[in-house]
């Protein structure tokens, strides 16, 4: 190095050191994103879910191990902070390994860090030096910063199966800077770090529900305004989380794993995946991998107001922090990735939650605009919107409606949602039958009759449904209708495979007797009528 170049180097150094202490690179992972009005705090809380195990505590041969058997859940929380930013912003390595207060978590977190690094390697061009350098990227959150006054909506982040939540730290920080408390926990399988099957996904979903439960008591958290954000497999668990927790108000996904045909099938197989239970606004953002995407799951969520943002020319990993990371390290990693997709994902997610959890009209306007109006090229971004249909009542809700409102109102819903459609009856026959009898036994045949009628419509091959409806008609004095129904019931007995042998015997002996009785009644009635006429 000659003298002039040395002077330049020293001047460069001095500029770096003087400009911002040691700050050489101002939050490169944030790229063009502008933080919201709040400084960002971060903390972890280590908890044990004693209702579940993780390791067994014994090896294959039954010998005890040092493993912690209770399920360890490290809750990581970003929040709007009160203190001005200082020199203590976190670096990426602190997210890849969030040092716990409880040293017993270190073993688990070490394994998660290794998994995170393995996940990053191929994204970073298999350059371990690039991955190591990435660990020193500075972000914006300050660990342990004071809390901002006020209450803030909660967003639970569901990370992908194979990576930690570090994949989306800028997103989490970004949301916190805009006034949300964001909480998550690393993806863990049911008994190992691997998340490979339905039971592992269920473990992840329960972990996030555990996190959401813990957040109810968190300072400044408004537990009545809750959103979910999921990435990859976390997109599936976020949907399930909402479907069984009515308190969730909005759901967003980034490259939800349900977009792949194989995992769409897995999603539909999940017993907790019930589109009829989800009627909240939904946003999905994904890299449009032509030919490898199915929208079957998304389309099945027809009761949600949906906004689908598809991006062209980007890789799925570019929707995450890796987009910025690779872009910043392109000199060494040479992956050629860029950060446009990541920034778009952050902006749309933040505006989505601001619109639906805060009621921010400017955010809603952002969502309503075309991509071009939001400065995104048409060839890069495509938006699709679908208004959610009204949500049909669940079986339980329907029964509650009958009991707590009027049968007339319930019957309006039957008609509106075609609840009695024989092709897909929504209400169990036994429940409907029992409810009908409740009214009948109280002498309220007016309310019992439509319920039995609906049951017959929903289950046209059921001998018992016809028998019950017939009994109600008979009680109401409509003997001719009752006779028709009993005769239909008798005819169905031979083919109705749902009956137990004992009950079949009851019907086989009872129905003919009633038919006989009704015929007599009808005949007597006709004779009486004739006499009166004469």
Residues engaged in binding other proteins (CB under 8 A): 1, 5-6, 8-10, 12-14, 16-17, 22-25, 59, 61-63, 88-91, 93-94, 96-97, 99, 103, 106-107, 110, 113, 117, 128-129, 131-133, 135-136, 138, 331-332
Cross-strand pairs, 53: 70
Cross-strand pairs, 83: none
Q: Which is nearer to other proteins, 30 or 452 (CB)?
A: 30
Task: Compute the least distance from the CB of residue 133 to other proteins, in Å.
Answer: 6
CB 254 within 8 Å of CB 321: no
Residue 144 to residue 147: CA distance in whole angstroms: 9
Q: Which is nearer to other proteins, 95 or 376 (CB)?
A: 95
- Which residues in 15-170 belong to E strands, given as ranges? 40-53, 70-80, 89-91, 138-143, 152-158
Task: Compute the least distance from the CB of residue 332 to other proteins, in Å.
Answer: 5
Task: Compute the least distance from the CB of residue 131 to other proteins, in Å.
Answer: 7
Task: Compute the least distance from the CB of residue 119 to other proteins, in Å.
Answer: 13
Q: Label residue 201 exposed, middle or buried (CB < 10 Å: 0-12, 13-18, 19+).
A: buried
Task: Compute the least distance from the CB of residue 120 to other proteins, in Å.
Answer: 10
Task: Compute the least distance from the CB of residue 65 to other proteins, in Å.
Answer: 9
Q: Which is nearer to other proteins, 129 or 196 (CB)?
A: 129
Task: Compute the least distance from the CB of residue 421 to other proteins, in Å.
Answer: 57
Q: Which is nearer to other proteins, 127 or 487 (CB)?
A: 127
Q: Which is nearer to other proteins, 162 or 275 (CB)?
A: 162
302: which residues sit within 8 A by CB, 6+ positions away?
275, 386, 388, 389
CB 199 within 8 Å of CB 185: no
Single out the residue of 203, 304, 202, 190 nearest to residue 253, CA to CA. Answer: 304
| Residues listed for the chain | 534
Task: Compute the least distance from the CB of residue 29 to other proteins, in Å.
Answer: 12
Helix (H, G, I), strand (E, B) or coil at 285: strand
Q: Which is nearer to other proteins, 74 or 468 (CB)?
A: 74
Q: Which is nearer to other proteins, 120 or 474 (CB)?
A: 120
How many other C-beta atoms can be found within 10 angstroms of the C-beta atom of residue 53?
15
Q: Which is nearer to other proteins, 50 or 61 (CB)?
A: 61
Instruction: Give the containing element (helix H, strand E) for 419.
Output: none
Which residue stretches of 270-406 are H helix?
A: 296-300, 321-328, 330-333, 340-353, 361-368, 395-404
The pair of three-digit structure tokens given for residue 243, joined into one six-digit string: 């479907």
The pair of three-digit structure tokens given for residue 22, joined into one six-digit string: 């040691």
Task: Compute the least distance from the CB of residue 93 to other proteins, in Å.
Answer: 3
Residue with tokens 């009160």: 82
Residue 220 to residue 223: CA distance in whole angstroms: 9
Q: Which is nearer to other proteins, 8 or 434 (CB)?
A: 8
Q: Which is nearer to other proteins, 22 or 502 (CB)?
A: 22
Helix (H, G, I), strand (E, B) or coil at 376: coil
Q: Cα–Cα distances in Å, from 399 out to 153, 310, 446?
A: 33, 40, 17
Q: How many angstroms from the chain centroid is the CA of residue 227?
A: 9
Task: Compute the least distance from the CB of residue 261 to other proteins, in Å.
Answer: 35
Q: Label residue 385 exposed, middle or buried (CB < 10 Å: 0-12, 13-18, 19+).
A: exposed
Quote the radius of gyration of the chain (alpha carbons, Å).
31
Q: Which is nearer to other proteins, 109 or 420 (CB)?
A: 109
Q: Which is nearer to other proteins, 326 or 351 (CB)?
A: 326
Task: Compute the least distance from the CB of residue 22 to other proteins, in Å.
Answer: 4
Residue 182 to residue 40: CA distance in whole angstroms: 11
Task: Compute the least distance from the CB of residue 88 to other proteins, in Å.
Answer: 7
């Amino acid at each position: 190095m000659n003298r002039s170049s040395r002077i330049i180097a020293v001047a460069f150094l001095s500029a770096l050191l003087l400009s911002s202490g040691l700050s050489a690179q101002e939050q490169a992972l944030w790229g063009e994103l502008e933080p919201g009005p709040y400084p960002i705090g971060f903390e972890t809380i280590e908890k044990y879910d004693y209702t579940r195990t993780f390791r067994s505590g014994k090896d294959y041969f039954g010998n005890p191990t040092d493993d912690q058997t209770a399920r360890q859940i490290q809750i990581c929380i970003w929040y709007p902070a009160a203190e001005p930013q200082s020199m203590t912003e976190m670096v990426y390595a602190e997210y890849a390994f969030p040092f716990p207060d409880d040293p017993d978590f270190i073993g688990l977190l070490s394994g998660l860090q290794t998994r995170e690094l393995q996940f990053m390697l191929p994204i970073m061009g298999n350059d371990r030096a690039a991955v190591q350098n990435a660990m020193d990227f500075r972000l914006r959150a300050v660990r342990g910063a004071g809390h901002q006054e006020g209450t803030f909506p909660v967003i639970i982040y569901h990370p992908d199966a194979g990576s930690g939540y570090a994949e989306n730290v800028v997103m989490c920080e970004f949301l916190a800077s805009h006034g949300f408390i964001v909480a998550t926990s690393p993806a863990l399988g049911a008994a190992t770090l691997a998340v490979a099957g339905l039971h592992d996904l269920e473990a992840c979903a329960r972990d996030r529900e555990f996190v959401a439960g813990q957040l109810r008591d968190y300072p400044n958290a408004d537990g009545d305004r809750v959103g979910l954000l999921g990435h990859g497999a976390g997109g599936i668990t976020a949907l399930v989380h909402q479907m069984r927790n009515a308190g969730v108000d909005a759901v967003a996904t980034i490259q939800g794993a349900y977009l792949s045909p194989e995992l769409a099938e897995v999603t539909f197989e999940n017993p907790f995946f019930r589109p009829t239970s989800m009627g909240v606004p939904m946003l999905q953002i994904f890299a449009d991998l032509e030919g490898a995407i199915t929208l079957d799951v998304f389309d099945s969520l027809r009761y949600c107001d949906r906004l689908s943002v598809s991006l062209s020319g980007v890789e799925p990993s570019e929707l995450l922090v890796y987009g910025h990371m690779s872009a910043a390290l392109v000199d060494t990693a040479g992956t050629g990735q860029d950060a446009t997709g990541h920034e778009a994902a952050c902006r749309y997610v933040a505006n989505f939650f601001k619109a639906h959890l805060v009621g921010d009209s400017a955010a809603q306007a952002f969502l309503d605009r075309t991509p071009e109006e939001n400065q995104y090229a048409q060839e890069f971004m495509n938006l699709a919107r679908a208004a959610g249909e009204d949500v049909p009542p669940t079986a339980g809700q329907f029964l509650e409606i009958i009991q707590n409102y009027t049968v007339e109102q319930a019957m309006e819903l039957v008609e509106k949602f075609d609840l009695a459609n024989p092709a897909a009856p929504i209400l169990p026959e036994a429940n409907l039958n029992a409810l009908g009898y409740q009214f009948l036994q109280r002498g309220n045949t007016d309310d019992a009759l439509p319920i039995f009628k609906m049951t017959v419509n929903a289950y046209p091959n059921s001998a018992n449904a016809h028998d019950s409806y017939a009994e109600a008609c008979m009680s109401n004095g409509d003997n001719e209708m009752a006779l028709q129904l009993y005769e239909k019931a008798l005819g169905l007995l031979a083919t109705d495979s749902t009956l137990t042998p004992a009950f079949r015997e009851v019907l086989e002996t009872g129905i003919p007797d009633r038919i006989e009785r009704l015929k007599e009644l009808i005949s007597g009635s006709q004779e009486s009528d004739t006499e009166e006429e004469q």
